[in-house]
Amino acid sequence: MKPIRSPIELNRAGKQALIEALGFDGMIRFIRQFEPSSGNYTEERHQWLDRLTADEVFAQIKQASTRRHK
C-alpha cells in the first residue's frame, strides 16, 4: 500500500476501504451517521413522545422484540 499524502487521497482510500468492508450501501449508511442534520432533535422527539402513553411505548417495544425473534 502506498502512503497517503493528501486529504483527498485519504478520503478516497477511506471510502474504498468502507466499500470493500460494507458494500456501497453500507458505506453510504455509515457516512450518513456523521453528517450534520437540520432541525431540533429534542423538540421533534417531544412532538412524538409526548403523545404516547407508557403502555403504548411498552407495546411497541414488545412488538419489535417479537419481530426480531421470529
Predicted local distance difference test score (pLDDT) of residue 47: 87
CA distances (Å), 23 to each of 7, 54, 69, in order?
22, 39, 26
Q: What tens digit of pLDDT does each residue of 13-23 get? A: 999 999 999 99
- Give the mean pLDDT of the chain: 87
11 vs 69, residue with greater confidence: 11
Percent of the chain with pLDDT over 90: 40
Instruction: For residue 35, give the DSSP letter.
Output: S
Q: Quick one: which of 6, 26, 10 has its CA closest to 18?
A: 26
pLDDT at 4 over 80: no
Total-model pTM: 0.46
Domain ranges of the chain: 7-68
Sole residue written with cell 414488545: 62
Taking the C-alpha atoms of residue 17 and residue 27, their distance in angstroms, rounded to an integer, is 9
Instruction: For residue 38, give the DSSP letter.
Output: -
